[in-house]
Structure 1
Amino acid sequence: MEEVLSHNITVIEKSRRIGISWVLSWLAVTVAASAPSGGGMDVFYMGYEKEMTRQFIDDCADHAKILLSAAVEVSEELFVDDERPEQSIKAFRIEFASGHKILALPSVARAFRSKQGLVILDEAAFVDDLRAVIKAALALRIWGAKIVILSTHKGDTNPFNSLVEEVRSGRKKYHLMRITFEDAVAQGLYRKIAAKQGIAWTQEGEDAWKAEILDEFGDDADEELHVIPSPSSGTYLPFALLEARTDRNAGVARWQCDAQFALQPEAIRTGECAKWCGEVLLPLLDALDQKTPHVFGEDFGRSGDLTVIWPLAIDAGMKRRTPFTIELRNVPFDQQRQILFFVLDRLPRFRGGKMDARGNGQYLSEVAVQRYGARVEAVMLSESWYRENMPPMKAALEDDSFSLPKDRDTVDDLRSIQIVRGVPRIPDSRTASKTGNRHGDAAVAACMAYAASRADIIEYAFERVPSRPGSLDGKVNPNAWPIEREIEAERLGQREGALGLRGRIF
């Protein structure tokens, strides 16, 4: 409540059914019961339907009885709409000794005429003509009113989400709060529910209840619980989510070749590529934590699309952190191989990777498998692959377990993922950027990298060859005759010049 009162206009995007309206009913009573000298004022509550409005007023009445130790009556009156007098609406009112009141209004802009005080606009995403209602409420600010606008989301194109984005971008200087289901649980939501139901609280019980709720909401949990507006146009990853996961310390290394570069002599091509690797990539690779495991993903392109190489660090908390990405446009096959090997040879604790093996990409993935063995998988992208691997990547982004480069083209590629026949994938259409045409290349590489981070680790081991009989500790007796020491050293593979190896060289 203090956070709300300390700002003139507060916007709250929230999870469903976490008790925010109930908390604001306490705020309403506190404000209305106070004298003007103590910050008291009238309170105007607006919901989108009658039942929630009545519930808010009843909650206020209950709180007032506790705070004021006096009976409080809820009165009813008719709100007469001058423009539609035949549609008069019932309004609820509570009067206080301070001279202030709490008045529940219908969700029409005209209801704010001649009003002044604290405005609470509940479930704003579901209010008809929200922009007009907010515009009318802003007029109250001239004489010092405070405004609270809260709601769960109703799609990414809803006016409420547009308002949230304007506040988040800084275009509107309002205060923004975001309260998810996880936030509410951490603040004691289940404890309150358990107490009301007469259930003893346990951590196991809370975990089971939380898992059950998330399971019941299913795909709707993103919007209803995780405060992520659902994409209205088939978009799989909302812009707000992607923007929140960008890391300003992670950038994109880009190299583009003209059409004549592929015709240059091999020595020139190799030298130019080595120079770029040394000047651009080597400092990025040297900055990587040598103790952290790394994986990578790759999407191949030659003349039309990009090749994107996406390294990924797996930190101690299992967060997948992107240190940088590489974009190659119109780079010859040999130089793509040269760059890939340059990177992978220097990735600390290189654990594995997945590469696009479709079309011409089969060459680059094949030479990588030949060089790095089973750690690299050549992937034939298909609908089933997308179905299995896109959802885990999305979940990681939602859980803040996967960071992205702070790069507009990269974010646009990820935004291009759409639900096609029920499967999140890259559509056939291409997009344009300042650097050329794109086809969701970074999105594929990102998904490949995250899939590689989830893959089983390739184990390496050896079996020690036991020493031959003749010396229990594997050492030659220094007190033996020279011929005996030579024979024993021969048996143990320790003769001079053998480097401790047994066998013969042919």
Structure 2
Amino acid sequence: SKLFAKAAVESGEFVFEDYDAATGETRQVKAFRIRFASGFEIVALPSRPRSLRGKQGYVIIDEAAFHDDLAELLKAAMALLIWGGMVVVISTHDGEANPFNQYIKDIRSGRFDYGLVRIDFDEALRDGLYQRICQRKGEAWTAESEAIWRAGIIGFYGEGADEELFCIPSEGSGAWLLPIVIETAMKPETKVLRWEMPASFAGQQAGVRRATAQAWLDAIVAPQLHRILPDKPSFFGEDFGRVSDLSVIWPVQMTQAMHRHCPFVIEMRNIPFDEQEFVLWWVIDRLPRFGGGAMDAGGNGAAIAERTAQRYGMERIAQVKFSVDWYRENMPKLKATLEAGGMDLPQDVDIGNDFRLVKMIDGIARVPRIRSLEKGEGAADGKKRKRHGDAAIAGALAHFASLMPIVSYAYEPIGRGGDGRAGAADDHDDDAPRFGLRGRIY
């Protein structure tokens, strides 16, 4: 600071205008600045991404793990590299699932060509940290006093010492599930069946859309029907999305050992409402001993949830409008099941990332507002598809459905024709065992 004082022309607070293009508002923001005779300056800016727009130079993002939107902040900072700038990201950890730690994993895996420097507490001590402290305080350094000081610092941090001092991310204030819990639950035989269509598909004739949906079901989903256990109670969860988010259908079956078997998971992106409903009903009609389902009934999902409840029974289809209370009551149950190894997850990078996206917010596990980019199949063609924890929500709904009381109902033979919808003509004997049989008494 003494050297800076000699070179600085002026230092102090100043006010700059922070324009928000989304709202059209301009706010007066106070920041600290040191100006030099050379024309260069050091400015302490707020952590909002737009505060970096239009700037040049050397950017230091301190305590990156604790910024509200690190991804957007880095995106704004990286633009400075075009003009020969430099970006340095510094932070302690704040949990395994924190975006800061995810960037570290991506660097180590070779996904990002960034430099990575790791310095823990003991390395700093070996490089003279405590000796410098003694020098500043005018005290004599000894190995014994350093050992006592080290023990005191570690004791002060307590359970947070690994994270704060030794660069080891813990479960963290933001994390809901440990990564090992997610990875242990993953089964390679459980496939994720994905269907995506261009925006123009919605404008095609209804018959064309229906035929396309049926062809996809026959080619992709039908070969996975052997994964359905023919004599086990079946349930499902569905998280709805139309454009920006995915629709995810998550069937589960309860085994004799109270394990939730997942035969497959279906993801649909940019699929029209009618075809989403058609796919969902096609799957439900092939679930044996169907006990019930839970569906996202918020926003655009309300109509499909209501029609599905009317078709299969209002008591059997829970139309869920998400709330803090719903998350508070149901997410701990799902966590306990996963930690006990009681539910299958597909072995899929994007499914795993959806579950990692769930955070503890004000003591309640839920999905934050930020969206993540796909890194698995969805990223293979270079498109930046975004996710919002959709699979994790569908899995939570499936788990919720599996806990619902099974409703008794009378036998009602319903056939199924070539279009996959119940109620169409069917040449099969009504009592023949098959996946499409509904109305079974149990």
TM-score by length of 1: 0.48
Matched, 1:389 2:338: no
Deviations 1:101-150 (A, max 9, x none): xxxxx6999xxxxxxxxxxxxx9xx699xxxxxxxxxxxxxxxxxxxxxx
Give the counterpart of 2:409 among 460, 470, 479: 460
Task: For residue 249 of structure 1, report the CA deviation from its aligned partner.
Answer: 1.1
Instruction: Tell me which amino acid in the other structure corresponds to 1:455.
Output: M
- Asked if the contact 2:192–2:264 (Cα under 8 Å) also holds between the matched residues in 1, the reply is yes
Deviations 1:196-217 (A, max 9, x none): xxxxxxxxxxxxxxxxxxxxxx
Deviations 1:441-472 (A, max 9, x none): 1111011011111111112258xxxxxxxxxx
* Corresponding residue for residue 137 of structure 1: none
Matched, 1:353 2:285: no
Give the counterpart of 1:409 among 350, 358, 370: 350
Q: What SS does the corresponding residue of 2:199 show, helix, strand or coil?
A: coil
Instruction: Tell me which amino acid in the other structure corresponds to 2:395.
Output: A
Task: For residue 402 of structure 1, report the CA deviation from its aligned partner.
Answer: 1.6
Task: For residue 279 of structure 1, report the CA deviation from its aligned partner.
Answer: 1.1
Instruction: Tell me which amino acid in the other structure corresponds to 1:390.
Output: M
- Asked if the contact 1:155–1:231 (Cα under 8 Å) also holds between the matched residues in 2, the reply is no
Alignment of 1:133-148 (within 5 A): none
Give the counterpart of 1:296 among 222, 236, 250: 236
Q: Indicate how the Cα distance of structure 1 residues 459 and 265 shifts in structure 2: closer, same or farther if over 3 A, else same.
A: same
Q: Indicate how the Cα distance of structure 1 residues 154 and 336 shifts in structure 2: closer, same or farther if over 3 A, else same.
A: farther
Task: For residue 338 of structure 1, report the CA deviation from its aligned partner.
Answer: 0.6
CA distance in 2, matches of 1:321, 1:161: 34
* Corresponding residue for residue 302 of structure 2: 362
Query: Which structure 1 segments of 5+ residues have no match?
Result: 1-47, 49-80, 91-105, 110-122, 129-151, 163-228, 463-506
- Asked if the contact 1:296–1:311 (Cα under 8 Å) also holds between the matched residues in 2, the reply is yes
Query: Which structure 2 segments of 5+ residues have no match?
Result: 1-121, 123-129, 135-139, 379-384, 412-442
* Corresponding residue for residue 201 of structure 2: 261
Instruction: Tell me which amino acid in the other structure corresponds to 1:450.
Output: H
CA distance in 2, matches of 1:107, 1:324: 56
CA distance in 1, matches of 2:226, 2:364: 39
* Corresponding residue for residue 217 of structure 1: none
Task: For residue 154 of structure 1, report the CA deviation from its aligned partner.
Answer: 6.2
Q: Indicate how the Cα distance of structure 1 residues 86 and 304 shifts in structure 2: closer, same or farther if over 3 A, else same.
A: closer
- Asked if the contact 2:131–2:141 (Cα under 8 Å) also holds between the matched residues in 1, the reply is no
Alignment of 1:69-468 (within 5 A): 86-89=141-144, 159=166, 161=168, 229-232=170-173, 234-373=174-313, 374-434=315-375, 435=378, 436-460=385-409
- Asked if the contact 1:231–1:237 (Cα under 8 Å) also holds between the matched residues in 2, the reply is no
Identical pairs, percent = 38
In our comparison, the structure showing a higher alpha carbon Rg is 1
CA distance in 2, matches of 1:350, 1:153: 47
Deviations 1:350-400 (A, max 9, x none): 111100001110111011101110211111111111111111011111111
CA distance in 2, matches of 1:448, 1:242: 17
Deviations 1:240-292 (A, max 9, x none): 22112211111200000101111111111111100111111112123311011
- Asked if the contact 2:227–2:264 (Cα under 8 Å) also holds between the matched residues in 1, the reply is no
Instruction: Tell me which amino acid in the other structure corresponds to 2:394.
Output: A
Aligned pairs, how many? 267
Instruction: Tell me which amino acid in the other structure corresponds to 1:255.
Output: W
- Asked if the contact 1:357–1:365 (Cα under 8 Å) also holds between the matched residues in 2, the reply is yes
Task: For residue 329 of structure 1, report the CA deviation from its aligned partner.
Answer: 0.3
Instruction: Tell me which amino acid in the other structure corresponds to 1:457.
Output: I
- Asked if the contact 1:153–1:160 (Cα under 8 Å) also holds between the matched residues in 2, the reply is no
Instruction: Tell me which amino acid in the other structure corresponds to 1:286.
Output: H
CA distance in 2, matches of 1:158, 1:358: 44
* Corresponding residue for residue 484 of structure 1: none
- Asked if the contact 1:156–1:230 (Cα under 8 Å) also holds between the matched residues in 2, the reply is no
